[in-house]
Copies of this chain bind each other. A is one copy, B any other.
Amino acid sequence: MSARKDFLFLSEPDCIDAGVLDAGRCVDVCEEVFGLLAQGDYLMGGPNHNSHGMGVVFPKSSPFPNMPVAGPDRRFVAMPGYLGGRFDVCGNKWYGSNHANTAKGLPRSVLTLMLNDKETGEPLCLMSANLLSSARTGAVPAVATRHLASATAGSVAVLGCGPINKACLKAIATQLPHLKRVYFYDIFEAAAEKLADWARQTLGVDAIVENDLQTALSGAEVVTVAASRVKPLVVQNDWLHPEATVLISGPISADDAFWLENRVVLDHVALHEAYVDEAVASPDKQAAYDGVIGGPLYRLIDDGRLPALKDFTDLGTVLQAPAQRADTGARRTVFVACGMSVFDLAWGYEIYRTAQDKGLGTPLALWDTPYAE
């Protein structure tokens, strides 16, 4: 009996042919995932089932000249998980990031995703995951836009104009039929100009590069934040439109009022509880807080100025309880998204199945018959 079972390798072009760039479809799939998160039909890493993943953390300095040391956006991370529903698959996203990549003509992060048979552990698919990952990262705030922002919103501010916020804007735009005007802000004006050009041509919107952050924010009903860790944004709450929906997909520095006075909706409460557990178990809790988007929020909770994480609302719960949505509209809402392997599994599974249907990719096999040890 041969135990050979081919698995697929999908290069980036294969993933494109399989539809990885279809932002609208990705938003629908990610909305499904929020439903599964709320129901509990998933497992992420660790004994609490909710860890973001496990990184290789580079030290600030090292006596070993070859050892990588901490640098902008520099890390490796493994993000394992199981996702239920119609996906019903295990897998692991694994990536290395280094800001210095961009000077070499490479993306800041190089990502792959492996999908595995949940029963046997056999690989089903290894895929290039750069486009997959940015698509799902963009789709998550777009699901929030669909459910938390005003359906008539016509203006967006884009804070940080790299590939992540491009993916966010592309996905958010699919949810805003009245979108007319987009403000672009970046510490590098050329990046803002480039993204504005793309938006003008692709989305047909008024695209305005704005070098003053306060001005960029003042007219925006939706704000998407995804700036590099190289220099986090500093935002004052009173700069924001009174009914703005602020979608946070990257680190942000804001005054306390931003966290204390706005309605905060999390991507998934249990994920943030796991972040705090891991920070507590780490050698330096404050350093761990510094490394995650929710850090400023966790500090306010630790200080007793906000209720415990378990009392926060998350998006999956909003989707399942329409009554919670009535709370939106009359006030400012902040949505915090930190990245979860279940979104990679869902969108990766879609691309994998489409690739199978279209006959894309390179079949590989671990063995014809496993070596009889």
| Interface, chain A (partner B; CB < 8 A) | 1, 3, 9, 11-13, 16, 39-41, 43-49, 51, 53-59, 63-64, 66-68, 76-82, 84, 88, 90, 92, 94-98, 100-101, 104-107, 109-112, 114, 116-123, 126, 128, 130-131, 134, 163, 166-167, 277-278, 280-284, 287-288, 362, 364-371, 373
Contacts and interface: CB of A to CB of B under 8 A. Distances in A.
A72 to B, nearest CB: 13
Nearest to A39: B64
Number of copies of this protein chain within its complex: 2
A239 to B, nearest CB: 28
Contacts of A48: 282-283
A273 to B, nearest CB: 11
A81 B54 CA distance: 10
Contact of A112 (B97, B114, B362): B114
Nearest to A87: B66
18 contacts: A12-B371, A41-B64, A43-B59, A47-B287, A47-B288, A53-B54, A66-B84, A68-B82, A68-B90, A78-B78, A90-B96, A96-B117, A98-B119, A109-B121, A110-B122, A131-B371, A280-B281, A362-B364
The 6 closest A-B pairs by CB, nearest first: A96-B121, A281-B281, A78-B78, A54-B54, A47-B282, A163-B373
Contact of A278 (B13, B78, B126, B281): B281
B364 A121 contact: no
Given A58-B43, A281-B278, A370 B12 contact: yes
A54 B43 contact: no
Contact of A120 (B40, B110, B121): B110
B11 A373 contact: no
A60 B367 CA distance: 32
Given A55-B46, A55-B80, A123-B110, A68 B365 contact: no
Name which of A54, A55, A163 has the most chain B CB atoms within 10 A of its CB. A54
Given A12-B370, A94-B94, A112-B114, A119 B68 contact: yes
A3 B105 CA distance: 7
Nearest to A16: B371
B54 A46 contact: yes
Nearest to A129: B366
Given A54-B51, A56-B44, A78 B106 contact: no
Contacts of A287: 47
Contacts of A110: 116, 120-123, 366
